[in-house]
Structure 1
Amino acid sequence: MAEKLTDLDLLATFLEIYRGGSITAAANRRGLTQPAVSGQLARLEKELGEPLFVRGGRGVTPTARADELARRVGSHIDQLRTALDPAPAVEATVRVGGASEFMTVRGLAALAPLTRRGLRFEITLGLANDLLAALRTDELDVVLSAVRPGEGFTAAPLTDEEFLLVGPPLLARTVDQELLARDPARALEHLPLVAYSDDLPIIRRYWLSEFGERPKNPTAVVVPDLRAALAAVVAGAGVSALPRYLTESALTAGAVELLHHPEVAPLNTLYVVTRGATTPATDLVVEHLRSRDWGVL
């Protein structure tokens, strides 16, 4: 029986790593040290005979085997936790808005544990300004925003997105490294861009922050989804500035390369935003999200 309980413990730790994308976050949520969590993961990977995650500088990326294992055991482990969880149930619906990329890759995984407490979520995906407008008109309860809201909102910093300038290996080879060291904007200006929109909001911010000028590059692809932008970059259409949490797996696999190495990486703060009087359910969501160890995304 003890061996079976230990196996369940390993799976519970695996799920925390999988859902949080970080061994540090899993250690905090499990109440264990990082070496203990790493040891449990190593034991599970040894039992399975294959790796479950690709280790990176800012966290871990699940393998296909990890995706399969999470699908098979996730709901069962959650049911066991619910049966043993002493926390009171909170029967309520919370309407949460966020960017589709962040919510898909990190946000929904962060909210999922609260469903075991009885919370139900209605998720709206969209642009920050549109979501904040919906919050102002009481169509949403909580917004995870990449834009700091103005007056009338209550906003707390959640985590920071780190942006990387990446391109496919073939395009990376065309960059003059000596010129890049002297005049990076000029060294990169022949590279076509893959942008989120025609006004190049993320790329323009990167160029102004790092090079002190606007990009003069031609635009090859405009697509309003950062995951699709990454796919276009991997396919060789151009280069783009993208959040680390989206690009880490492609970097590890060698599908894209860093084109620029800033002394301090450009960051963008994400906020958890509410407005007016809140409910216990909304407060629970905000507290849960703020207590999470997100690291730098």
Structure 2
Amino acid sequence: MDLALLRTFVTVHRAGSFTRAAALLGLSQPAVTSQLTEITEAGLDRDSVTRTLHFAGPPEFLAERALPALTPLIAQGLSIRTAFGPAEELLSGLAAGHHDLTVTTTRPRGGLLTATPLCDEEHVLIAAPHWAAELGGTAVLQAGGARVLDTVPLVEVHESLPLIARYWSAVFDAKPAACAAVIAADLRAVLSCVTAGAGLAVLPRYLCADALDNGQVVALLDPPVPPLRTYFLAVRTGTLGLPHIARAHEWLLRTAVDW
């Protein structure tokens, strides 16, 4: 192995992040990630022993985006084991060594975990077309605000209404007036309920884009600044020195540019 590449590998391992390693080496961050990618590609291809990545995150995001993105690494000798759950639970599992890589919407604090922004998701207020017709259209909703929606049942992933409450605060500067009519712990189930006409929901655009395109649901509003939520890619500090973790981490960051 080239000694310069080996030095980069060791520095990333000790520093715990590409940014700190780049500063120590006097290189740009893209140069460091490029060198580490060269190392990990060679390591995965050369090593006949299967390397297992313990990967955790929201079930919908992993199923629709992250896991398909990692598929090319399977041919290079990577195997993947997944875990799903709430953000705090998964971050605790990551800190305890149960996971290697975690996608989360909560930025971890402290020095034990290192998080890198992965992508932003736009949230969309959706309902079946008949609800939009009953409400009188977007113009009525824009004029009347959140109170116009009080008659429409709410569909959410949790009793605390995390997505709806965030949207109401950002767009209407208000709190939801009602409890959820349906609680489904998977956003894909929320979308199915909304498509069937159960009520309205707030969902990430990537998850409901097809349903919007084919007319199964409609966006009730198009705010000038749509609410966004950031996904982070978290690891235990120092573990990016392990080739299979570093490779998956870099691969996801590259792929997420197009998300």
Q: Structure 1 residues 195, 235: closer, same or farther in 2, change over 3 A?
A: same
1:216-262 CA-to-partner distances (Å, cap 9, x unmatched) read 13521011110000000011111000011110111111110111111
Shift of 1:202: 0.8
Matches within 5 A, 1:221-240: 221-240=182-201
User: Alignment identity in percent?
Assistant: 36
Aligned length: 212
Contact 2:105 2:232 in 1 (8 A): yes
Amino acid at match of 1:232: C
- Among 235, 248, 254, the alignment partner of 2:209 is 248
Report the counterpart of residue 94 of structure 2 in structure 1: 135
1:126-182 CA-to-partner distances (Å, cap 9, x unmatched) read 221111010011111100112111112100011111110000011111113444222
Matches within 5 A, 1:22-37: none
Q: Unaligned 5+ residue runs, structure 1?
A: 1-84
- 3-state DSSP of counterpart to 1:265: coil
Shift of 1:277: 2.4
- Among 236, 251, 254, the alignment partner of 1:288 is 251
Report the counterpart of residue 116 of structure 1 in structure 2: 75
Q: Structure 1 residues 262, 89: closer, same or farther in 2, change over 3 A?
A: farther
- Structure 2 distance, partners of 1:139, 1:186, is 45
Report the counterpart of residue 36 of structure 2 in structure 1: none
Residue 215 of structure 2 corresponds to residue 267 of structure 1: no
Matches within 5 A, 1:1-297: 88-90=45-47, 91-151=50-110, 152-177=112-137, 178-278=139-239, 279-296=242-259
- 3-state DSSP of counterpart to 1:219: coil
Amino acid at match of 2:246: D
- Structure 1 distance, partners of 2:69, 2:256, is 10
Q: Unaligned 5+ residue runs, structure 2?
A: 1-40
Contact 1:191 1:217 in 2 (8 A): no
Contact 1:194 1:239 in 2 (8 A): yes
- 3-state DSSP of counterpart to 2:148: helix
Of structures 1 and 2, the one scoring higher in RCO (CA 8 A, sep 6+) is 2
Q: Structure 1 residues 240, 92: closer, same or farther in 2, change over 3 A?
A: same
Q: Structure 1 residues 215, 201: closer, same or farther in 2, change over 3 A?
A: same
TM-score with structure 2 setting the length? 0.78
Contact 1:159 1:295 in 2 (8 A): no
Q: Structure 1 residues 266, 124: closer, same or farther in 2, change over 3 A?
A: same
Amino acid at match of 2:132: A
Contact 2:125 2:219 in 1 (8 A): yes
- 3-state DSSP of counterpart to 1:124: strand
Amino acid at match of 2:219: L
- Structure 2 distance, partners of 1:214, 1:168, is 22
Q: Structure 1 residues 295, 262: closer, same or farther in 2, change over 3 A?
A: farther
- 3-state DSSP of counterpart to 2:151: coil
